[in-house]
Amino acid sequence: MFAKNVGRPTREAYGDEILELGKENPDFYIVDCDIGKSCKTVEFAKQFPEQHVNVGIAEQNACGVAAGLASCGKLPFVTTYAVFGSMRMSEQIRQEICYPKLNVKIACSHGGLTPANDGASHQGIEDMGILRTLPNMTVVNGCDYYSTRKLVRAAAEYKGPVYLRFTRDAVPFIYDGTEDFQIGKAKEIKAGMDITIIANGDIMSRAYEAADILEAEGISVRLLDMHTIKPLDKEAVVKAIMDTGRIITVEDHNIINGLGSAVCEVAAESGSGKVVRIGIQDHFGESAPYERLLDKNGISVQNIITKARELLQES
């Protein structure tokens, strides 16, 4: 149901889904870092005050509190911004959550370039790469409101640490709410045999629009929503290599150690295919409107189309 100019922020999907989870499970907890308004946990705190813990601006402490709750059989979701959830808390996540493999979820809004005018200090463009290196950690990034709601629920049902990334800005609807999502299993949005585009998160709509334009030129495009970058759906990547031989990855993240790197690892191990990575080119962000920042980093419809044409001309 791709609707280019209609959508909602994925942080709102998080806020809506945790209300349902709170109603269903008295052991479901939110551990807040005093930014409930931005991360959409205010209504949860109102409806379920006994299941809500606000530790203040103390992310490392939030991690320890969540670990303690999980060790007592509770299901805690630590909620903060991506820059803090992946970096300020990284040692605590490693030592207190991943090492003992506790059932704690790290749910972070403002991932990637969506903090925009807030600048480099608030743009978490390294978060998924950092977290995917930790043993026992699962890393998930939904691409729209509906998929994110399903993936938040899937994370709640999944046993073990999970990192969830959300957007501040509204992103277009890709799905209609009837789709099922499984952690670690890519969604094929379009079937194609000439070239594969693999994307996730807030820029999926740009990948979708590029695929539509390429298809209008007679190019058969496979479009995959790789919402889970760890564990990566290796089977889907290998199949794309075998069927199309050419892959473009698109992400709102540093191209180092993110989606593109994960796909390249599989391609290298398979010994075939070619991968072109589109994303942030290993530098910090800057203050500017969100759409302008994406374009400046080549995360644009036109650049995806250009790279696709170049790949096809090489064969």
The confidence score (pLDDT) of residue 124 equals: 87
Active-site residue, selected from the candidate residues 17, 24, 50, 59: 59
**Same-domain status, 208 and 96:** no
pLDDT, tens digit, for every residue of 183-217? 999 999 999 999 999 999 999 999 999 999 999 99
Distance CA 15, CA 277 (A): 32
**Same-domain status, 16 and 146:** yes
Nearby residues of 62 by Cβ (< 8 Å), 6 or more positions away: 31, 32, 33, 55, 78, 80, 89
Considering 173, 196, 218, which residue would you say is the last residue of a domain?
A: 173
The confidence score (pLDDT) of residue 220 equals: 97
Residue 59 known to be catalytic: yes
The tally of domains found in the chain comes to 2
- Residue 181 contacts residue 154 (beta carbons within 8 Å): yes
- Residue 46 contacts residue 144 (beta carbons within 8 Å): no
**Same-domain status, 197 and 169:** no
Q: What is the CATH number of the domain that holds 125?
A: 3.40.50.970
The confidence score (pLDDT) of residue 264 equals: 97
Asked if residue 118 belongs to a domain, the reply is: yes
Distance CA 47, CA 22 (A): 9
Asked if residue 180 belongs to a domain, the reply is: no
Of 147, 127, 155, which Cα lies nearest the Cα of 21? 155
Grouping H, G, I as helix, E, B as strand and the rest as coil, residue 166 is coil
Q: Give the chain's radius of gyration (CA, Å).
A: 19
DSSP 52-94: EEE--S-HHHHHHHHHHHHHTT-EEEEEEEHHIIIIITHHHII
**Same-domain status, 48 and 166:** yes
The confidence score (pLDDT) of residue 185 equals: 98
pLDDT, tens digit, for every residue of 33-53? 999 889 999 999 999 999 999
The confidence score (pLDDT) of residue 1 equals: 60
Q: For the whole prediction, is pTM greater than 0.85? A: yes
Joined together, the tokens standing for residue 92 give 């605590």
**Same-domain status, 86 and 199:** no
How far lies 156's CA from each of 2, 40, 121, in Å?
A: 27, 17, 30
**Same-domain status, 71 and 210:** no
- Residue 35 contacts residue 166 (beta carbons within 8 Å): no
Amino acid at 159: K
Asked if residue 178 belongs to a domain, the reply is: no
pLDDT, tens digit only, all 315 positions of the chain = 666 667 899 999 999 999 999 999 999 999 999 998 899 999 999 999 999 999 999 999 999 999 999 999 999 999 999 999 999 999 999 999 999 999 999 999 999 998 888 888 888 899 999 999 999 999 999 999 999 999 999 999 999 999 999 999 999 999 998 999 999 999 999 999 999 999 999 999 999 999 999 999 999 999 999 999 999 999 999 999 999 999 999 999 999 999 999 999 999 999 889 999 999 999 898 999 999 999 999 999 999 999 999 999 985
Asked if residue 78 belongs to a domain, the reply is: yes
Distance CA 250, CA 172 (A): 16
Asked if residue 128 belongs to a domain, the reply is: yes
**Same-domain status, 160 and 193:** no
Joined together, the tokens standing for residue 245 give 């031989």
**Same-domain status, 125 and 212:** no
pLDDT, tens digit, for every residue of 88-100? 999 999 999 999 9
**Same-domain status, 254 and 113:** no
The confidence score (pLDDT) of residue 2 equals: 63
Q: What is the CATH number of the domain that holds 303?
A: 3.40.50.920
The confidence score (pLDDT) of residue 117 equals: 84
Which range marks the domain in which residue 271 is found?
Answer: 187-314
- Residue 54 contacts residue 36 (beta carbons within 8 Å): yes
How far lies 219's CA from each of 91, 122, 195, 278, 302, in Å?
A: 46, 39, 8, 19, 15
**Same-domain status, 96 and 12:** yes
Helix ranges (DSSP H) in 124-203: 127-132, 145-157
Characterize the bridge pairing of strands 274-280 and 246-254: parallel
- Residue 129 contacts residue 258 (beta carbons within 8 Å): yes
**Same-domain status, 169 and 209:** no
**Same-domain status, 33 and 169:** yes
Please report, to the nearest 10 degrees, the dihedral formed by the alpha carbons of residues 292, 201, 69, 51 taken in order. 80
